[in-house]
Structure 1
Amino acid sequence: MTAPNTELEILYQDDYLVAVNKPAGMLVHRSWLDRHETRFVMQTLRDQLGGQHVFPLHRLDKPTSGVLLFALSSEMAAEMMPKFAGREVKKTYHAVVRGWVKEAAVLDYPLKEELDKMSDKRTLQDKAPQEAVTAYRPLARVETPIPVGRYATSRYTLVEMKPETGRKHQLRRHMHHLSHHIIGDVNHGDGRHNRMFREHYDCHRLMLHASALEFFHPVTGLPITIRATVDQSWQGVMLAFQWPLSYLDG
């Protein structure tokens, strides 16, 4: 899925910080891994702000949509980055996963660092697994009459997730560990269910969305909550499953 050639939706902006609703399929910054890509959130936002330099404070994978926060100076970036590392910034995600998640829980399951063959080739290969903690809870469930595999019906759950750590692909890998693969995940998911969503729901994206970011403003000290709405693919799935969009409000 490629991002549409439009301006970014700015969710929050002041003299120090700016947040956008990152589209699925758009890279945050230029990468040799996707050399064919021509649009990036950083460049697009900088142009949108009249040449203002922006400094990303965290990451969202290319196929993930939602709240993405930037600092407007290197000094503010240096002040905010420890807040992310120190778990002072609360993140809320929503996902559609395979199967029925029956109850809320906290998964404490360490993850080995995922390495890119080229960009991480000098990284230590035998590092011990790192702490990875995700709180999750089911919001809605559905059973569809569309068979996938040997079953006559298919079951899915809308899940809210709050990661307490920030490991690479943490949510996707944690849901894989639970056998509740996130729909649209080509690396850690289930291709049969991904294909069914493409064919029956015209959904060609990873069903993972960064819905909200909460933190205390580093200058004013005031509590800030930034929320991002979902795109048409998400809305189409929610409508098909008769799940109200209000389930995503947190």
Structure 2
Amino acid sequence: MDLRTSVSLLLLLLLGVCNAQHGLDNVQDSGSPDFLLEGDVFVPRTRNAMKCLGIPYSCLWPKSADGTVQIPYVLDSAYVLLYKTVDNTDRTNFASAMNDMQSKTCIRFIPRATQTAYLSIEANFGCSSLMGYIGDKQVVSLQRYGCVSHGIIQHELLHALGFYHEHTRSDRDKYVKINWANIEDGYDVNFQLQNTNNLNVTYDYSSVMHYARTAFGKNGLETIIPTKNPSAVIGQRNGISDLDVLKVNKLYNCKK
């Protein structure tokens, strides 16, 4: 690998880490046919996807006769081939993230055959996902450098299952304080409350769907402060929490 290639890889890596730290890619180009809500919830302007956003949990993946929720997916070949060499690290991370969710819920990720509705997991720029079940091909974008890790994969898959960010749930003001003055200009939309059904599950500081304390903060200033437990760690991307699992099982009426 020559010096130019090494420098290019380093720049891509830095870009990916930056996006992952921010709660993922939040580029909103007015000339683009699409936009991102809450930083990584992908909303096509050209399709009626807002129905899944306006009514919480209105777009659920259908349940099979055996009680499981089967979600077909296609994995981008870019996760395997890199500079004409085989690299299985990405595929191992996907398998680990999916298997972890499957072992604790009734969700089953299955390779797509001919299904019309499926997840197309693509190595695009940034980390983003459509919200809930669309009924057609729906893209989950996971950039190779910065997004293909256990917790971030699960974060985007939970969006695809229909979950919002924890810090935007309807009762969040009882548990966290949003420092609006510390938020980067133009990014306050990522902290707007949503009219969520919280499934009678308490607020979860440890949720993989929670933003970190300094998410979208000016010069690293704190934007989210836990109030019930000031020392709580928020914004972890190690993997789904116990309450994340509980919410999936409640939403999809799993027998787990």
Does the TM-score normalized on the shorter chain lie above 0.5? no
TM-score, length basis structure 1: 0.23
TM-score, length basis structure 2: 0.23
> Which protein has the bigger helix share?
2
